[in-house]
Chains A and B, each alone.
Chain A
């Protein structure tokens, strides 16, 4: 019997290599998890044990994975007890991590202008996807990130010109810049160089600045808070663009066993409850919003 799903998720006692605090209660956690790094895809996530006191695992997206070194980078924000306990873990300690889990983003070979929109701690999968595009020829991705707490990196003025950007909206992500991928930032907090508004405002201006034939080359990928995803999905619909979103829901098993993490999805045969962990976390926006 053909069972391709079998043995696709590793369980590893991963060593914490570094654990850096950023303003806004954000942390970047680097772990050594070779099995996970080997198979991780943009959009896939890990399910990790934060502490024996809170034995239920927490799902966190993979931001970067290096199959050669076995390093996996995560970015998370402290929001409750589990993530607080996680933030106390120190380099040299080991944490139990399951992964990689889930269906990631699908590259559309017919669309050369991917627009990646990440909000808050929805940024990690966008970074991973951007890095993936550096390995592919013929694509020109553009990344828009939004945050209401300071960005978990040192933003710098971008040297890569993007038509349609409002004056003064020049801040970008150095790492993406290094990869030759342009990016712009938004926030309502008035951070220097960032657009004061929503990610969808910038996206709209970018789309409006291009001609019709280019616009047909656009596909939108997004991860972030639910209201933001809803707005992104609406934008995609208005411009008649394909759009893939990565969703979140409370999880128990993260392997498809409990049906705890479902989201209502429109299918050809009517509404269905799909599991975010293994049927997602990435879904076609039009089927969920």
Chain B
């Protein structure tokens, strides 16, 4: 891609300048280096890379099986396996090449204080931003339990806000009744951006043994199957965000140029790619190219012009 084309893709996302609206999603790309094993893959093709969900203490995660393909999607219940925030900051971040992309930490906890403590640890690090995961469906405490309650969501965001001056992106769950209200409360509590949506809760059953296939019994559903739900949620959250200038990373099932464009039009400023990487590890340059081609075809000079350009049927 030439420089002029690349410039069309540049976005400002709550103060971070991203060279592409594509964001690689937490839990799909380990701690930032894993996909570089693949020849032809580069972190530079993504505007940002979200690291695996990180807690204060190390976690072993759930028992296997942890992943399972379902119709146009997959279930996962990893259980936030991670080496703990201190290890990530001391041992992993120094090995990342921050000239390649923006790296975003993904924070989890089972108490408000734990979220804040993890935020404090990352605050004193080169990390570019923090995503607060109040929507993990795969752990017993915290996670989605916070995300489904607007009061708790706001408390987590407020506590992290106090702990850091770096940009905070709140990751919202689709497993809740009024996502727009929750978003409003998180904005009041000081979030700089949103990630919409995390996985939906689901199950798959082994009919021979009559047991759930996923070791954790239930898991988070991601991939193309969830895209229509994700799009509607982005549209709903955008209605709240628009007046505050708060940007959204739209995500859930993005697997083609068409999908990425739909999220942008629905109100996203950046577009997350997770499960699709499992299908095609070289998808990012294809999406970037396709977005640029679309912009040119529509006489647009910049990807930001697409954000929220949806015209509802009257």
Question: Which residues does A use to contact B, with CB under 8 Å?
Answer: 1, 3, 5-11, 35, 49, 54-57, 82, 96, 98, 249-253, 255-264, 271-273, 278
- Write the nearest CB–CB distance from A97 to chain B, whole angstroms: 12
Residues of A within 8 A of B39 (CB): 7-11, 35
Across the two chains, which residue of chain A brings its CB closest to B67? A260
- Write the nearest CB–CB distance from B53 to chain A, whole angstroms: 10
Q: How far is the CA of A148 from the CA of B303 in the complex (A)?
A: 58
- Write the nearest CB–CB distance from B48 to chain A, whole angstroms: 15
Q: How far is the CA of A251 from the CA of B64 in the complex (A)?
A: 11
Across the two chains, which residue of chain B brings its CB closest to A249? B64
Question: Are the CB atoms of A263 and B78 closer together than 8 Å?
Answer: no
Across the two chains, which residue of chain A brings its CB closest to B276? A55
Question: Are the CB atoms of A251 and B28 closer together than 8 Å?
Answer: no
Q: How far is the CA of A256 from the CA of B36 in the complex (A)?
A: 10
Across the two chains, which residue of chain B brings its CB closest to A56? B69
Could you say which interface size class chain B belongs to?
35 or more
6 more contacts with CB within 8 A, not counting A3-B36, A5-B37, A258-B30, are A11-B281, A55-B279, A56-B279, A250-B67, A252-B275, A257-B35
Given A250-B65, A259-B52, do A7 and B36 touch, yes or no (CB 8 Å)? yes
Q: At the interface, yes or no: B160 with Cβ under 8 Å from chain A?
A: no
Question: Are the CB atoms of A260 and B38 closer together than 8 Å?
Answer: no
Q: At the interface, yes or no: B4 with Cβ under 8 Å from chain A?
A: no
Residue pairs across A and B with Cβ atoms less than 8 A apart, 15 shown, are A1-B95, A1-B97, A8-B39, A55-B255, A57-B278, A250-B64, A252-B275, A253-B28, A256-B34, A257-B34, A258-B27, A258-B76, A258-B278, A259-B61, A259-B81
Residues of B within 8 A of A55 (CB): 72, 223-224, 255, 279
Q: How many A-B residue pairs have CB under 8 A?
A: 110
Question: Are the CB atoms of B28 and A257 closer together than 8 Å?
Answer: yes
Residues of A within 8 A of B34 (CB): 253, 255-257, 278
Q: Which among B40, B60, B223, B277 is the interface contact of A273 at CB below 8 angstroms?
A: B60
Residues of A within 8 A of B284 (CB): none
Q: How far is the CA of A201 from the CA of B52 in the complex (A)?
A: 45
Across the two chains, which residue of chain B brings its CB closest to A52? B279
Across the two chains, which residue of chain A brings its CB closest to B52? A259
Residues of B within 8 A of A98 (CB): 38, 281
Q: How far is the CA of A263 from the CA of B60 in the complex (A)?
A: 11
Q: How far is the CA of A273 from the CA of B80 in the complex (A)?
A: 12
Q: Which chain B residues in 50-73 approach chain A with CB under 8 Å? A: 52, 60-61, 64-69, 72
Q: Which among A9, A263, A264 is the interface contact of B38 at CB below 8 angstroms?
A: A9
- Give the 10 A-B residue pairs with the shortest CB-CB distance, closest first: A260-B67, A257-B34, A56-B69, A256-B34, A55-B279, A257-B30, A252-B67, A7-B39, A252-B278, A260-B66
Residues of B within 8 A of A278 (CB): 34, 37
Across the two chains, which residue of chain B brings its CB closest to A271? B60
- Write the nearest CB–CB distance from B286 to chain A, whole angstroms: 12
Q: B30, B39, B74, B278 — which one has the most chain A CB atoms within 10 A of its CB?
A: B278
Q: How far is the CA of A54 from the CA of B68 in the complex (A)?
A: 12
Q: Which chain B residues in 251-267 approach chain A with CB under 8 Å? A: 255
Q: How far is the CA of A148 from the CA of B66 in the complex (A)?
A: 29
- Write the nearest CB–CB distance from A132 to chain B, whole angstroms: 23
Question: Are the CB atoms of B37 and A252 closer together than 8 Å?
Answer: no
Q: At the interface, yes or no: B282 with Cβ under 8 Å from chain A?
A: yes
Question: Are the CB atoms of A272 and B60 closer together than 8 Å?
Answer: yes
- Write the nearest CB–CB distance from B276 to chain A, whole angstroms: 8
Question: Are the CB atoms of B278 and A56 closer together than 8 Å?
Answer: yes
- Write the nearest CB–CB distance from B68 to chain A, whole angstroms: 6
- Write the nearest CB–CB distance from A198 to chain B, whole angstroms: 24
Q: How far is the CA of A225 from the CA of B17 in the complex (A)?
A: 50
Residues of B within 8 A of A54 (CB): 69
Residues of B within 8 A of A271 (CB): 60
Residues of A within 8 A of B5 (CB): none
Q: How far is the CA of A82 from the CA of B69 in the complex (A)?
A: 10
Q: How far is the CA of A3 from the CA of B223 in the complex (A)?
A: 30
Question: Are the CB atoms of A257 and B277 closer together than 8 Å?
Answer: yes
Q: At the interface, yes or no: B14 with Cβ under 8 Å from chain A?
A: no
Residues of B within 8 A of A257 (CB): 28-30, 34-35, 277
Q: Residues 188-228 of chain B: 1 if any A CB is under 8 Å from the residue's CB, otherwise 0?
A: 00000000000000000000000000000000000110000
